[in-house]
Structure 1
Amino acid sequence: MPVLRQLTACSAPATQVVEGRSREKGRALQYRVEVCVRHRWLAQHWPGRCTKREPGGRCGTMADHRAYLQVVQSHVDTWILPLTAQDLHDDNVAAALRAAHQWMEDAYGSPATARGDLWYAVAAALGHAAWLAEALAAGLTAREEGERQVLAALSAAELIAGTACGR
């Protein structure tokens, strides 16, 4: 089942589609990203076949069919690492997300001293994703359900971060 992501807060219709496929026999669909003319630069981050289409869908919509760690790595590569300088090491999702959350909290403070409401919201969403990843690592939730919850929290954080960046 694909993970649905929203890379932008843009409500314009998508005019360009990028489809990434596996290199294995059968070339299974890995992801599908749809962007508008203004956000076509985002398509450069996603290797694959790029096609133009009649306006339709919503800009920034992504269906990600990859495995859990690949999707987490994608979040790290596309927005967490550039924003917080935190990377994924040894597939330790919980540690990477906790470090990214801590960086955001240090940068944007507590709710009482928040210097940017949207950036504080990104920090809160990353904190929630980190907490879920820690619960998953501790075995407090079933693997598949826990992974789904982590990816949903990361998707929410990604949309808020995109909004804060003006995408």
Structure 2
Amino acid sequence: MPVLRQLTACSAPATHVVEGRSRKKRRALEYRVEVCAGHRWLARHWPGRHSTREPGGRCGAMMDHRAYARVVQSHVEVWIGPLTAQDLQAHDGDVAAALRAAHRWLQDGARGEIWHAVAAALGHAAWVAEAVVSGLVEVEAGERQVLAALSAAEAIDGTARGV
């Protein structure tokens, strides 16, 4: 099930598209990122086919079709790690532990309401991930909730950074 992510708070029409495709599954679409000319730099690190288009869509919109683990890894690599210095390797691949550590890091150092909002969304993602591990929440439903919380946190983070 695809996950809609919003990488920026920009409402400009998108003019640049990156499409990442699978190498194994008959080049199936894995993700599509759309950005405006001013935020084109955000898409540089995304591997895939880069193209321009007539203005349309919303800057920062991303449709992510990848598996849960790959989407979580993307969140950690793209914004959680650079923001909080937390990564999955430091927590032996434990998503819940990495998200909880990122939540604590932000909560302890947050300056301003918007950073507290990012911390709260990460805390929610961590709580749901912990509930999945403990069996309190069914795996598939819990993973969808974790990804939704991470997407919300990412959108708030983009707003906080003025992206």
- How far does the alpha carbon of each residue in 1:47-86 deviate from its partner, in whole angstroms, 9 at most, with x for none? 1000100000000000000000100000000000000000
What is the aligned partner in structure 1 of residue 160 from structure 2? 164
- Long gaps (5+) in structure 1: 109-114
Contact 1:69 1:91 in 2 (8 A): no
Deviation, structure 1 residue 91:
2.6
Tell me if 1:140 matches 2:136.
yes
CA distance in 2, matches of 1:139, 1:93: 15
What is the aligned partner in structure 1 of residue 123 from structure 2? 127
Equivalent of 1:154 in 113, 133, 150? 150
CA distance in 2, matches of 1:132, 1:152: 11
Q: Secondary structure at the match of 1:72?
A: helix
Q: Secondary structure at the match of 1:132?
A: helix
What is the aligned partner in structure 1 of residue 36 from structure 2? 36
- Long gaps (5+) in structure 2: none
Q: Which consecutive segments of 4 or more residues in structure 1 shift more than 3 A?
A: none
More helix by percentage: 2
Instruction: For 1:137, give the aligned amino acid.
Output: V
Q: Secondary structure at the match of 1:39?
A: helix
What is the aligned partner in structure 1 of residue 100 from structure 2? 98
Deviation, structure 1 residue 23:
1.0
Q: Secondary structure at the match of 1:10?
A: coil
Give the alignment's Cα RMSD to 1 decimal. Answer: 0.8
TM-score scaled to structure 2, two decimals?
Answer: 0.96
What is the aligned partner in structure 1 of residue 68 from structure 2? 68
CA distance in 2, matches of 1:96, 1:25: 30
What is the aligned partner in structure 2 of residue 111 from structure 1? none
CA distance in 2, matches of 1:57, 1:8: 13
CA distance in 2, matches of 1:91, 1:65: 21
Instruction: For 1:125, give the aligned amino acid.
Output: A
Contact 1:13 1:58 in 2 (8 A): yes
